[in-house]
């Protein structure tokens, strides 16, 4: 057996470089590079291993460990989980900063390889700088915080352990069911230890998308339920994208006249102008999907985990409706007492098309779908129209950005606050990757860094990053990184002077008083107003171009200049924190049973009524 002597860190890099994937006939590296912030936990080992191969395996430097990992997550999502990145940081706070990002990847089922530096395996110099000591268990380090937010976790205590650990990490990163973050904690001394690795360990390996067909009995039971239905509807989730099942979904929908509503992750499964696309589903959804959900007698869920925003906290659907769940993961397929149909969406939808020959939904149901869809689209058109008010609404801003975009190739990206609700309702895309929302974890601060990852994956698309002032303030330093790397995006900051989304939830939704969300309701020195933030000046100080505008007319002109710019360009506009687009449904946020406020008492009464509807659906 031929061997090659390498340090553990060198072996990690060589192994990752050997992993390949075939996409549209082209063989590509599975790992598009590594994001790194070096410190004493990884600079001498992994840093030394990465430097000689930077031309073949790029290393990108972020400004914050969490946000550079967000860029890697956005890259994997935009790449349909077929390509991915690794992320490394120093032992201690640098690595722990990545734990939130690992949770983002875990919830969204997205592949990222985390390589956090760790303390000495030998323990000879303990306690070292930035080491968390646990007197009750010396096997613990701060990197154990990755365990609940990783799909696979290992700590490499000997260099030869890579022979088992790396294939297992790749198993998880490429598995349709277990897909998510893999974490290999790498003690800094072990990174520098050498071992005679088999050369065969580093041979090129091509990874293919595994497609598991459904069980025949489950398929037959699902077909029987569907054929009994007169008013079916489909909920399309992110799994439809990751399975690359969009043509099969279109065929099923079109052939059997089944309306489709989309989750945040499923948006773009059908073009927005498809006659049977009834728009957004759930709390951030529209009236068309909600009204159909109240009457449907059968729901076919495709590749969705049926979170509370999609189901209106289990109170949205007709209580008598049957549910068929198509999902590669049995844990998702059995939710809500569904008839599970465990299998790859692309294969399963094709089998359903054949098995349902001769059946169709009722003509009256299709007509209702068409009417609801037309009414909802009219609502959206009105919401996105410039009304010339002193403070534009979020919807008016979305409308301007949408009009400036090329719906056949451009991408909008967002994550948290009130904007995801407006975007899910209003954004229109003709292609499957035109809408990028991180809404599984809805992590504030994902937006700016995520724009880099999206642009890296789709360099020919104009990427619009839409962010509220609150999320901008949480994480904005990767604006500098986008300029440094030449990964241009258009950053639209909607300044509503605080956390407007939670202010609305606090007051309108739960009957509370405005408190600690809008800046005007926050504690300030001597009771004075909070300072006005100049987001444009801040971004320009990091190398971006940009301007501040006041009206939708000015915004539309600025968007033209932004598209013509050759570097990241920020546009800041003040918006109304109180106005949102009609639509959506109830979302369970617990309201106090006891309060002196009449508004809270009324909100509690509404809450109790909705809980009754929820219980009917259990």
Residues 575-600 pLDDT 10s: 999 999 998 899 999 999 999 999 99
E-assigned strand segments in 457-511? 463-468, 490-495
- Inter-axis angle of helices 446-457 and 65-78, to 10 degrees? 40
Q: Is residue 245 over pLDDT 90?
A: yes
User: Using CA of residue 122, residue 128, residue 132, residue 135, what is the dihedral sign?
Assistant: positive
pLDDT of residue 1: 84
The H-or-E segment that residue 301 falls in is strand 298-302
* pLDDT for position 617: 82
So what's the pLDDT on residue 130?
A: 86
325 pLDDT tier (thresholds 50, 70, 90):
very high
Q: Among 331, 36, 302, which Cα is nearest to 179's? A: 331
**What token pair was written down for 137?**
């268990």
Question: What would the two tokens of residue 160 be?
Answer: 């030869």
Q: In this structure, how many other beta carbons lie within 10 angstroms of the beta carbon of residue 589?
A: 13
* Mean pLDDT of the 176-189 span: 97
What is the pLDDT, as a whole number, of residue 313? 94
The per-residue pLDDT for range 383-421, each reduced to its tens digit, is 999 999 889 999 999 999 999 999 999 999 999 999 999
- Radius of gyration of the chain from its Cα atoms, rounded to whole angstroms: 25
d(CA 443, CA 318): 31
Question: What single DSSP character describes residue 447?
Answer: H
| pLDDT at residue 584 in the model | 87
Structure confidence by residue, pLDDT tens digits, 537-576: 999 999 999 999 999 999 999 999 999 999 999 999 999 9
Cα→Cα distances 298→222, 229, 235, 352, 419, Å? 11, 6, 11, 15, 31
pLDDT of residue 607: 94
pLDDT tens-digit profile of 353-371?
Answer: 999 999 999 999 999 999 9
For residue 483, name the pLDDT band (cuts at 50, 70, 90): very high
List the domains of the chain with CATH numbers.
3-207 (3.40.50.970), 216-376 (3.40.50.1220), 384-574 (3.40.50.970)
Mean pLDDT of 141-155: 97
Cβ neighbourhood burial of 273 (10 Å; 0-12, 13-18, 19+) = exposed
Mean pLDDT of the chain: 96
With 90 as the cut, is the pLDDT of residue 527 above it? no
pLDDT at 616: 87
Yes or no: say if 71 and 449 are a contact pair by the CB < 8 Å rule. yes
Q: Which helix (H) or strand (E) holds 75?
A: helix 65-78
- Using DSSP's 3-state secondary structure scheme, residue 22 falls into strand
- Residue listed under structure tokens 């003509």: 363
Q: What is the average per-residue pLDDT within 232-257?
A: 98
Average pLDDT of 489-507?
96
pLDDT in tens, 90-110: 999 999 999 999 999 999 999
Complete edge-to-edge strand list for the sheet that includes strand 205-207: 26-29, 19-23, 205-207
pTM: 0.97
What confidence category does residue 528 fall into, taking pLDDT thresholds of 50, 70 and 90? confident
Return the H-helix or E-strand segment holding 220: helix 216-227
Q: How many helices (H) and strands (E) does the chain have?
A: 24, 23
pLDDT (0 to 100) of residue 270: 98
């Amino acid at each position: 057996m031929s061997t090659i002597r390498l340090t553990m860190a060198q072996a990690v890099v060589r192994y990752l470089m050997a992993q390949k994937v075939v996409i549209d006939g082209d063989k590509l590296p599975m790992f598009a590079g590594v994001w790194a912030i070096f410190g004493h936990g990884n600079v001498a080992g992994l840093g030394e291993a990465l430097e000689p191969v930077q031309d073949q395996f790029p290393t990108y430097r972020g400004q914050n460990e969490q946000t550079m990992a967000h860029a890697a997550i956005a890259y994997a999502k935009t790449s349909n989980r077929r390509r991915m990145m690794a992320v490394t940081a120093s032992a201690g706070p640098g690595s722990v900063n990545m734990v939130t990002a690992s949770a983002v990847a875990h919830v969204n089922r997205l592949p990222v390889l985390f390589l956090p530096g760790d303390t000495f395996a030998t323990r000879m110099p303990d306690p070292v700088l930035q080491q968390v000591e646990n007197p009750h268990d010396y096997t613990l380090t701060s990197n154990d915080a990755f365990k609940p937010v990783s799909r696979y976790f290992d700590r490499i205590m000997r260099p030869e352990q890579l022979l088992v650990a790396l294939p297992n990490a790749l198993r998880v990163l490429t598995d349709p069911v277990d897909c998510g973050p893999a974490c290999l904690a790498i003690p800094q001394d072990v990174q520098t230890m050498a071992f005679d690795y088999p050369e065969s360990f580093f041979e090129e390996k091509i990874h293919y998308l595994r497609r598991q067909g459904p069980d025949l009995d489950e398929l037959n039971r699902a077909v029987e339920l569907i054929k009994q239905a007169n008013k079916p509807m489909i909920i399309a989730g992110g799994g439809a994208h990751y399975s690359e099942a969009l043509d099969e979904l279109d065929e099923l929908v079109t052939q059997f006249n089944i309306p489709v509503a989309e989750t945040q992750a499923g948006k773009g499964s059908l073009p927005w102008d498809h006659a049977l696309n009834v728009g957004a589903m759930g709390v951030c959804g529209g009236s068309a999907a909600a009204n159909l959900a109240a009457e449907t007698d059968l729901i076919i869920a495709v590749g969705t985990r049926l979170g509370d925003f999609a189901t209106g906290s289990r109170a949205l659907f007709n209580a008598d409706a049957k549910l068929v769940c198509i999902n590669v993961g049995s844990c998702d397929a059995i939710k809500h007492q569904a008839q599970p149909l465990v299998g790859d969406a692309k294969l399963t939808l094709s089998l359903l098309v054949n098995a349902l020959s001769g059946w169709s939904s009722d003509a009256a149901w299709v007509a209702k779908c068409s009417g609801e869809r037309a009414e909802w689209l009219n609502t959206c058109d009105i919401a996105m129209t410039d009304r010339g008010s002193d403070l534009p609404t979020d919807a008016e801003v979305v409308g301007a950005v949408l009009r400036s975009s090329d719906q056949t190739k451009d991408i909008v990206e967002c994550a948290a606050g009130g904007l995801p609700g407006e975007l899910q309702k209003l954004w229109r895309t003709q292609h499957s990757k035109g809408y990028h929302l991180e809404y599984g974890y809805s992590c504030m601060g994902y937006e700016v860094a995520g724009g880099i990852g999206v642009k890296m994956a789709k360099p020919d698309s104009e990427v619009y990053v839409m962010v509220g002032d609150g999320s901008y303030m949480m994480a904005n330093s990767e604006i500098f990184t986008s300029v440094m790397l030449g990964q241009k995006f258009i950053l639209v900051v909607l300044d509503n002077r605080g956390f407007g989304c939670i202010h609305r939830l606090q007051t309108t939704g739960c009957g509370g008083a405005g408190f600690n969300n809008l800046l005007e309701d926050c504690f300030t020195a001597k009771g004075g107003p909070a300072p006005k933030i100049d987001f444009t000046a801040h971004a320009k100080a990091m190398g971006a171009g940009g301007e501040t505008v006041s009206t939708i007319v000015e915004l539309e002109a600025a968007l033209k200049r932004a598209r013509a710019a050759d570097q990241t360009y920020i546009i800041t506009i003040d918006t109304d924190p109180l106005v949102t687009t009609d639509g959506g449904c109830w979302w369970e946020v617990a309201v106090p049973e006891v309060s002196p406020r009449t508004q809270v008492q009324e909100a509690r009464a509404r809450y109790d009524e909705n809980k009754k509807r929820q219980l009917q659906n259990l």
